[in-house]
Amino acid sequence: MGLKLRMVIFRECLKKFIKKHPVTCYFILTFFLSWLGAFILVAPKLFSGQSIPKMDGILMFPLMLIGPVAASITLTALTEGKHGVKNLLSRISKWKAPLKWYLTAFIIPPSLILIVLFILQTFVSPVFKPNFFPLGFLFGIPAGFFEEIGWTGYAYPKMRLKFPALKSALIVGFVWGLWHLPVIDFLGAASPHQQYLLLFFLAFIVILVAMRVIMMWIYSKTNSMPLVQFMHVVSTGCLVTFGPFNISPAQESLWYASYAIILWFTAFPILILAKSRKH
């Protein structure tokens, strides 16, 4: 058997496997590409026994953004060809949606963040006074734009072929949270989080799962990937813009956990509605 024939057979087998397990393949490839990029950046310091500076930790994140978009395009190209890739990317231009949904996406994250911080500032400590760092909003733009090509453009629709909308949103949200693991200790203001890292990470994941439920609710109503990208931008940007700066790891874990709770109070009616519609 010649090498060319073997390559054709391998490609066809790979294509069949991806078609049968599209979401699993996406998660594996996304994690591999993202975490590999982050690892390459800090590998010299890790191998020399040095600690990773916060700036290096922050720079890991742009490299991780390659994973979701590259994985979705690669898998689509392998199984659907150029037409599939064109269709995936064309959905970025489907920005037209009723204004009320853009207002919803724009209002929910900052409103809930400010409510939580004002409550904590009033009843716990003045250190929770909301910060105002307008340039922080720019941090959300690349995250929202590139990540959602993968999470919303590829993973969620593929998962919906087998699972209900709610279950799909919960799974994607949980995996989305785990994906941040390499950079989690560099997110927020209280880096490193020391003994509160696990609590901070758990609160962070709960936030992302709730946010994913809300974003997928909006997506189900509009079928607009740019709208989900927009909400992702607003969510990430507002965390950076309004998050208190001079706080301890314990205090940051508390405010993230509080935000997770109030965010779930917002997502809970969506859960009830989605469940009731199945009956």
Residue 46 CB partners (closer than 8 Å, separation 6+): 39, 52
Average pLDDT, the chain: 93
Torsions phi, psi for 193 (to 5 deg): -90, -5
Q: Tens of pLDDT along 53-103?
A: 888 888 999 999 999 999 999 999 999 999 999 999 999 998 999 999 999
Q: Kindly state the tokens that stand for 32.
A: 């591999």
Report whether pLDDT(197) > 70: yes
Can you spell out the DSSP letters for 129-168?
PPP--GGGGGGHHHHHHHHHHHIIIIIHHHHHTTS-HHHH
Report whether pLDDT(274) > 70: no
Rounded CA gap, 111 and 238, in Å? 10
Q: Which residue, 221, 76, 212, is CA-closest to 148?
A: 212
pLDDT of residue 275: 60
pTM of the model: 0.93
Residue 100 CB partners (closer than 8 Å, separation 6+): none
List helix spans (H) across 180-223: 197-222
Report whether pLDDT(276) > 90: no
Res. 279 pLDDT band, cuts 50 70 90: very low
Q: How many helices (H) and strands (E) does the chain have?
A: 11, 0
Mean pLDDT calculated for residue range 41-50: 90
SS3 assignment, position 195: helix
Report whether pLDDT(113) > 50: yes
Q: Which residue, 278, 61, 12, is CA-closest to 181?
A: 61
Specify the residue for token string 């939580």: 116
